[in-house]
A and B are shown apart, each in its own frame.
Chain A
Amino acid sequence: AQKVTQAQTEISVVEKEDVTLDCVYETRDTTYYLFWYKQPPSGELVFLIRRNSFDEQNEISGRYSWNFQKSTSSFNFTITASQVVDSAVYFCALRNNNAGNMLTFGGGTRLMVKP
């Protein structure tokens, strides 16, 4: 069985602070994919990143960075110098290679960035 845990239900920061959103996953498969999605107040889920289980390199995209640690089954997401527009709910998700492309989502973390 697969499981994704986002222990932080809500995080509140002040603009320009760095913030890390935690994601811990469970799977028995050796091949799997991890995702992060952003859901702004408008409601749609916006795809941010996909990572496969064989690629443990960290990734940086502008102010966003992701830290994939297979040893601890974690795929954490850091926003550097947060902005008000980063306020959203962020979802971590897991798909294993044999799951018929079914995603297992975490419960989401609501990030509030205050000016």
Chain B
Amino acid sequence: EADIYQTPRYLVIGTGKKITLECSQTMGHDKMYWYQQDPGMELHLIHYSYGVNSTEKGDLSSESTVSRIRTEHFPLTLESARPSHTSQYLCASSAGTSPVAETQYFGPGTRLLVL
């Protein structure tokens, strides 16, 4: 059972606002990830982190930024939200200590709507 949390679950916001999507996990996992999911279902990796102070961009270019100051916390920030940012954002984590342990566990997601 995975303990990974995302807040808010749903967010409706106007264009130009700054938003931060929170993700935290209580499993002590080193690796964390952010995915963006289109309404058409496809998942795209936008950011990942191998540990504290480590962040990398994923396959899909994103205007968002992330930080990893604490192991358990991996927030994603949009400085100026636009309608094109409307999507579901999923956070995941994995232990990263062995191939078996590297199964990614996902949070419940944040559905973002930018008007």
Contact = CB atoms under 8 A, between A and B. Distances in A.
Interface stretch (B37-45, B66-74, B77-85): B37-45
Interface string A77-104: 0000000000001010001010011110
Given A101-B31, A101-B102, A43 B41 contact: no
B102 A105 contact: no
Interface residues of A, number: 23
A50 B103 contact: yes
Given A43-B111, A44-B108, A45-B90, A102 B102 contact: no
Contacts of B111: 43
Contacts of A102: 45, 48, 58-59
B43 A105 contact: yes
Given A44-B109, A101-B104, A102-B58, 8 more contacts: A43-B108, A44-B106, A45-B106, A47-B2, A47-B104, A47-B106, A102-B45, A107-B41
Interface of A: 33, 35, 37, 42-47, 50, 52, 89, 91, 95, 97, 100-103, 105, 107-108, 110
